[in-house]
Amino acid sequence: MKAKKEYTRQWIFKTIAVLLPFFVLLLVEIVLRVCNYGYDTNLFLEDKTGTYYHLNPDISKKYFTVQENATQGNYELFPKEKKSGTIRIFVLGESTTVGFPYMHNGAFPRMLKYRLQFAYPTVNFEIINLSLTAVNSYTLYDFSKQLINYQPDAVLIYAGHNEYYGALGVSSSSSIGRNPNWIRATIALKEFKLGQWIFRLAARLKGSDKKTTDYSLTLMERMAHDQSVPYKSRQFQQGIDQFKSNMTDLLDLFGKHRIPVFISNLVYNQKDLKPFISSNGNFNASKQYQAGNVAYVHRDYLAAKRHYVLAKEYDGLRFRAPERINILIRDYARDNKNVHFVDAMREFEHHSPHGIMDSTLLLEHVHPNLAGQQLISNAFYKELLKSGILPSLKDNTNSLFISPGDYPFTPFDTIFGRISIWLLKESWPFNEPIPAEDPTHVRTYEEQIAGACAVKQINWFESMRSLYDYYKQKQDLGNALRVMEGLCLELPYEQEYFLLAGKLSIMQHKEKKALFYLNRANQLAPSPEARSLLDMIQNHQIPTNLK
């Protein structure tokens, strides 16, 4: 009996000894949570009203080892309760998908929503852009694990250029290793406050690399730690394997939940961007680029394109994705029933001289101009139509066809984008001086506003309100409407903007647009004014003296 009691006592003490460290860890976790230490790791947070969700502005801190480099996405609201008749689409991607350098309505997801809302005026489209600058497939896969709980009807993906220098990439200053399982484990650990504390303590003990925290450098330069990644090197292959591992699991997860995925191949500048880093030997990027230029001059465009692609492949600075990633993207659509292939490259080649992508549609290495963003939007639109997840267009008698000139852009957008690209290309790896300003040139109002916004003297909303007042004063109703339509896209639950957009549409005899905006205004908040204007339009009594 004594032996049995002794055994029981020893077993209890051993159990306590084993469980005690876990109890201490749990206690520390509870204390850190009570003290509100660290950051929230939920993908979405509630807005102040408790009615809508929006992307957590701190979510990217999970992926950046230097939290000061963490980027923020768009503040786009969507209802916590998904209403019937709603098609909810989430978009995953990197800086191109955010809309850099235009941001806001210069991103293809906004263009896609603009087109869809007029093609299907009776359908409520929620297109929520979750893209972040300087992230890669690790972030996309981690997002997907929470995203499945928010009733997506489809997920759109445009990503793959950042596998080397994006957060946690194999050549990034924000890397913590090259084994996908290890990296995913560290991301998961940051779900806990204790994990966040451990990583922050480790970073302090290690000390910071001045290059990663020198904010006189661009984010591109701070993130590119191992600048040269030789073609076919181990590091080169690891970047491809990283993309393959994360995207395979992401697509499997969405497939299990029967969520359609639309994934696009990637576009990049082939002709008008010489290699950043060229090595000697068999994989000489500069020689291939020069051979491409010679072939282009001699009008041998097939040979020119082949050389330009090889020049990009051999370029040691991996800001443009290897061809293998585009092959993987096509293979995913072939091998997965729920995955649809979006051929953005085909759109670009069709609209590029001799089928060779150049500065006609691309601003530098990978970021499209506004026309290029429209082409990506078109590519997704076509595939959405083919997929069958959208209603038949025949059932929408009030459908409005949107042409390239109809999108709500103003001179501000072009000027803001141009200034942002100048600021980017002034630094490494482009090192191009900002063009000298003509001393005789008198700046337009749009140039003044765009310049102030580009250097953060005013924000985007202030810019739009100033431009709206300016255009109204000048009786430029076309641009005034474009500004208001842009605000409707930015703030789709603000009735004021929809009512103003409806009235401006009436003043320009755009009846279908007016019907859409006024109906939307009335849905957001019953409005006698909106109802009265709708009745007048339907009775063909178009008012002409609106204020």
Tens digit of each residue's pLDDT (9 = 90 or more) over 23-32? 777 887 788 8
User: Residue 33 — pLDDT band, cuts 50, 70, 90?
Assistant: confident
Q: Measured between alpha carbons, how far is 264 from 247 in angstroms, rounded to an integer?
A: 13
Tens digit of each residue's pLDDT (9 = 90 or more) over 426-453? 999 999 999 988 888 899 999 999 999 9
User: Does residue 176 sit in the same domain as residue 292?
Assistant: no
What pTM did the predictor assign?
0.94
List the domain range (segments joined by +) for residue 487: 408-491
User: Does residue 251 sit in the same domain as residue 353?
Assistant: yes
pLDDT of residue 83: 93
User: Does residue 129 sit in the same domain as residue 193?
Assistant: yes
**For 339, left (φ over 0), alpha (ψ -120 to 50), or beta?**
beta
Q: Measured between alpha carbons, how far is 304 from 540 in angstroms, rounded to an integer?
A: 58
Which residues are registered as beta bridge partners of 157? 92, 263
pLDDT of residue 458: 96
Cβ 231 vs Cβ 283: under 8 Å: yes
Identity at 61, one-letter amino acid code = K
Find out whether the peptide bond into 275 is cis, omega within 30 degrees of 0: no
User: Does residue 291 sit in the same domain as residue 225?
Assistant: no
pLDDT of residue 19: 65
User: Does residue 152 sit in the same domain as residue 265?
Assistant: yes
- In terms of Cβ atoms closer than 10 Å to its own Cβ (0-12, 13-18, 19+), residue 334 is exposed
- Average pLDDT rounded to a whole number, residues 75-104: 96
Please give the tally of structural domains in the chain: 5
Tens digit of each residue's pLDDT (9 = 90 or more) over 215-259? 778 888 889 876 899 999 999 999 999 999 999 999 999 999 999
- Average pLDDT rounded to a whole number, residues 447-465: 96
pLDDT of residue 208: 64
Tokens 């020119």 sit on residue: 304
Tokens 């303590």 sit on residue: 201
What percentage of the chain has pLDDT greater than the value 90? Answer: 77
The last residue of a domain, from among 257, 291, 314: 314
pLDDT of residue 23: 73
Identity at 199, one-letter amino acid code = F
- Average pLDDT rounded to a whole number, residues 66-78: 93
User: Does residue 52 sit in the same domain as residue 179?
Assistant: yes
H-assigned helices in 207-275: 210-213, 219-223, 234-256
- Average pLDDT rounded to a whole number, residues 482-501: 97
224: helix, strand or coil: strand
Q: Measured between alpha carbons, how far is 181 from 89 in angstroms, rounded to an integer?
A: 29
User: Does residue 64 sit in the same domain as residue 183?
Assistant: yes
Q: Measured between alpha carbons, how far is 166 from 355 in angstroms, rounded to an integer?
A: 29
Reported as type and span, the H/E element at residue 476 is none
The last residue of a domain, from among 350, 378, 405: 405
User: Does residue 332 sit in the same domain as residue 255?
Assistant: yes
pLDDT of residue 176: 86
Tens digit of each residue's pLDDT (9 = 90 or more) over 334-371? 999 999 999 999 999 999 999 999 999 999 999 999 99
Tens digit of each residue's pLDDT (9 = 90 or more) over 110-157? 999 999 999 999 999 999 999 999 999 999 999 999 999 999 999 999
User: Does residue 348 sit in the same domain as residue 336?
Assistant: yes
User: Does residue 245 sit in the same domain as residue 265?
Assistant: yes
User: Does residue 187 sit in the same domain as residue 322?
Assistant: yes
Q: In what order do the strands lie in the sheet with 154-158?
A: 124-129, 86-93, 154-158, 261-264, 339-342
Cβ 340 vs Cβ 261: under 8 Å: yes
- Average pLDDT rounded to a whole number, residues 281-293: 96
pLDDT of residue 544: 59
pLDDT of residue 111: 98
| Non-local CB neighbours of 207 within 8 Å, separated by 6+ positions | none
Mean model confidence pLDDT for the chain: 92
Count of beta carbons in the 10 Å neighbourhood of residue 546: 13
Better-predicted residue by pLDDT, 225 or 327? 327
Identity at 232, one-letter amino acid code = K
pLDDT of residue 280: 86
Reported as type and span, the H/E element at residue 49 is none
Q: What is the 3 state secondary structure string of 384-430?
A: HHHHCCCCCHHHCCCCCCCCHHHCCCCHHHHHHHHHHHHHHHCCCCC
Report whether pLDDT(506) > 70: yes
Tens digit of each residue's pLDDT (9 = 90 or more) over 177-210? 888 899 999 999 999 999 999 888 887 877 667 7
- Give the CATH number, domain containing residue 189: 3.40.50.1110
User: Does residue 308 sit in the same domain as residue 333?
Assistant: no
pLDDT of residue 90: 98
Report whether pLDDT(10) > 70: no
- Average pLDDT rounded to a whole number, residues 58-71: 93
